[in-house]
Amino acid sequence: MAFSKFLDPKNNFAFKRIFGTEKNKDILIHFLNDILGFAGKDEIEEIEFLSTIMDAEIASKKQSIVDVFCTDSAGTQLIIEMVRPESLRSYCLKGEEFLQKETKRVLKLIKPDVLPSESTHQCESGNRLVPSDADNEPPLEKEDAQS
C-alpha cells in the first residue's frame, strides 16, 4: 500500500492542519478570497482564529465543534468545515437556525464518499475455529480450541 507524500486536505485532520493554524493563515486567506470570489475592497486581508468549540446558546442544545472558526478584518465571523455528503441533510434541516445568525458566514466543503454505499463486507459465525496451519490439520471444534 503506497502512502502519499502529502496529506489529503479532504481529511478532517489534514484540513484543520492546513487551514486552521496560525502558521498557515496566509493559505486560508488566499483560499477564502479565491473560493468566495473576493477582490479589491471585499478581499479578506487579515483573519484571527477563534475557538472551534461552539457552546450552545441554550443549555438544552448540544455543544458543537467546527473545523475552522475565524474573524476577518471587517469583523465578519467565518465558519469553514469539511463535511460528508450524508451530513448535509441534517445541516439543511437546521438551515433556518443558521440563517438567523447574520454575522456569520458558513462555508461547508463537501468531501466525496470514501466508502461505497453498499456494504462489501461479509461476516459469518459458527462453532468451528480454523488453526493457522489449516491445510495440514482438520478444523477444531470450539470446545477443543478453548483448552
82-137 confidence digits (pLDDT tens): 777 666 666 666 654 544 454 466 777 766 655 455 544 444 445 444 444 444 55
Domains in the chain, number: 1
The two most distant CA atoms of the chain are separated, in Å, by 78
Task: Tell me what pLDDT residue 102 has.
Answer: 46
Give a yes or no: residue 73 inside a domain.
Answer: yes
Q: How far apart are CA 28 and CA 80, in angstroms?
A: 10
What is the three-state SS of the chain?
CCCCCCCCCCCHHHHHHHHCCHHHHHHHHHHHHHHHCCCHHHCCCCEEECCCEECCCCCCCCCEECCEEEEECCCCEEEEEEECHHHHHHHHHCHHHHHCCCCEEEEEEECCCCCCCCCCCCCCCCCEECCCCCCCCCCEEHHHHCC
Is the pTM higher than 0.85? Answer: no
Give a yes or no: residue 129 inside a domain.
Answer: no
Give a yes or no: residue 30 inside a domain.
Answer: yes
Domain encompassing residue 59: 12-110
Give a yes or no: residue 136 inside a domain.
Answer: no
Q: Note whether 46 and 73 are within 8 A (CB).
A: yes
128-136, Cβ contacts within 8 angstroms, sequence gap of 24 or more: none
Give a yes or no: residue 83 inside a domain.
Answer: yes
Task: Tell me what pLDDT residue 129 has.
Answer: 45
> For the segment 15-71, what is each residue's pLDDT rounded down to a tens digit?
888 888 889 889 988 988 898 888 888 888 888 877 777 666 655 566 667 778 777
Residue 28, judged by CB atoms within 10 A of its CB (0-12, 13-18, 19+), counts as buried
Task: Tell me what pLDDT residue 130 has.
Answer: 46
Give a yes or no: residue 45 inside a domain.
Answer: yes
Q: Note whether 35 and 107 are within 8 A (CB).
A: yes
Give a yes or no: residue 3 inside a domain.
Answer: no
Task: Tell me what pLDDT residue 111 has.
Answer: 64
Give a yes or no: residue 43 inside a domain.
Answer: yes
Q: Note whether 48 and 74 are within 8 A (CB).
A: no
Task: Tell me what pLDDT residue 61 has.
Answer: 60
